[in-house]
Amino acid sequence: MFNPEKKILIVFGTRPEAIKMAPLVKEFQKYPERYNLKVCVTAQHREMLDQVLSFFDIVPDYDLNLMRPGQNLSQLTADILLGMKGILEDFCPDFVFVHGDTTTSMATALAAFYNQTKVCHVEAGLRTFNKHSPFPEEINRQITGRITDLHFAPTSKSSENLLKEGTNAENIVITGNTVIDALFLAQDKLKNYEDDEIKYLKSLELTQNKVILVTGHRRENFGEGFINICNALKIIAEDKDVLIIYPVHLNPNVQKPVKEILDGIDNILLIDPLGYPAFSWLMGKSYFIITDSGGVQEEAPSLGIPVLVMRDNTERPEAVDAGTVKLVGTNTETIVREAKSLLTDKEVYDAMSLAHNPYGDGLSASRIVKAINNVGE
Ligand code: UD1
Ligand code: UDP
């Protein structure tokens, strides 16, 4: 009788987790004789998660459908903890995979621990060691790390962070970041792929302007931070050679200030969040990117696109060391100054636009699956 050796449950809930876990789902699916794989989404995000599921053709086995408009962290954490209990009892996995630093990851790891199930953490060991920044992600990551049995660290720096905290070296595997696997999958697919969003972006004839791509959503930037950011974009857009394209995150705390301050400016395009293929296509066409996103900081070095990061610190120092990423905080004058320097000083621009791959070679998912294959042998 068919008896798969290991039962694997991969859990995620938000857009970036879905992008970064998709290559791992695909890799486990290659070996149905060895793994009984099930995918669970908490749906901490809904529309932005479904965009990714659809592009990577992933149909979840379990969907907790938890997202509520303007949700709060306590309710979300409680809902995930209770929802995951039922799924863990139903499937009884040998390994639960969580990713990164979201509330989905932290609460799922805790639910797995209560169920005495082994936890595997993908993108483990990133740290700022500042519990307020990123909020609540730094603490989500530390809690998840304490619970984790097998840590998949993307880089040697993240592995060192875990070792410093006393993690047993035998339980850490350096894999690269699966975000690069996803980016390569998307770029490969883009060779024969064009959806409505890409058609629309192509219709804008982007070569006529210097395109600045903007994203932002960090909780610690809500309020004054976002107002400063929007005021900076308004000043940068006074240069009519520039076209700012800003797919606005669906969080109401982001939508409100962005629309209030930036609606109606002819060279600022406020659009809905893009699907992953259109967004990765657009990154490649951008002159530079202004963002507070974690994932974009990892993708841009691989594409050689300069990134100004609207944060004071980062748990991703590799891209700063590589020179593609610069931290500019959320002060209006600083963002404007750094953007103008990239727009006008070719030397500054060239120094930041060299392609590097500090986050891996696109084979991270296969390293993770190999490590699981070796457990117990
Ligand atoms: C979450 C993660 C953050 C991650 C980010 C990626 C936590 C605490 N935060 O932040 O680490 O970097 O996702 O984007 O885990 N919304 C929708 N539709 C969607 C998605 C969001 O309408 O598809 C709106 C809803 O009103 C929702 C709100 O955004 O309540 C906030 O979503 P939430 O996941 O709590 O926070 P994010 O800021 O998205
Ligand atoms: N992304 C996307 N569409 C968008 C904006 C971003 O597909 O409109 C992708 C981006 O390429 C990256 C990920 O979403 O892989 C980053 O997600 P986000 O910034 O929401 O979260 P973070 O990485 O900061 O946790």
- Ligand 1, from 11, 17, 46, 67: best to mutate by most atoms within 8 Å of Cβ? 67
- Ligand 2 atom nearest 276 alpha carbon: 7
User: How would you class 28 by CB atoms within 10 Å of its CB: exposed for 0-12, middle for 13-18, buried for 19 or more?
Assistant: buried
- Ligand 2, from 128, 291, 293: best to mutate by most atoms within 8 Å of Cβ? 293
Q: Domain extents for the chain? A: 6-177+361-374, 194-353
3-state secondary structure of 343: helix
Q: Check if the beta carbon of residue 233 is closer than 8 Å to that of residue 246.
A: yes
What is the value of pTM for the model shown? Answer: 0.97
Q: Check if the beta carbon of residue 211 is closer than 8 Å to that of residue 247.
A: no
Return phi, psi of residue 210, to 5°.
-85, 115
What are the structure tokens assigned to 190, written together? 């883009």
Q: How far is the CA of 345 from the centre of ligand 1 (A)?
A: 36
- The domains spanning 6-177+361-374 and 194-353 adopt the same CATH topology: yes
Q: What is the pLDDT of residue 5?
A: 85
Return phi, psi of residue 203, to 5°.
-65, -15
Question: Which residue matches tokens 């500042």?
Answer: 130
Tell me which fold the domain 194-353 belongs to: Rossmann fold (3.40.50)
Residue whose CA is at the smallest distance from ligand 2 atom 19: 293
- What is the rounded average pLDDT for all residues in the chain? 96
What is the C-alpha to C-alpha distance for residues 92 and 308, in angstroms, rounded to an integer? 44
Q: Band of the pLDDT at 1, cuts 50, 70, 90?
A: very low
Q: In the CATH hierarchy, which top-level class contains the domain 6-177+361-374? A: alpha beta
Ligand in nearest proximity to the CA of 275: 2
Q: What is the pLDDT of residue 239?
A: 97
Q: Band of the pLDDT at 3, cuts 50, 70, 90?
A: low
- Ligand 1 atom nearest 14 alpha carbon: 13
3-state secondary structure of 300: helix
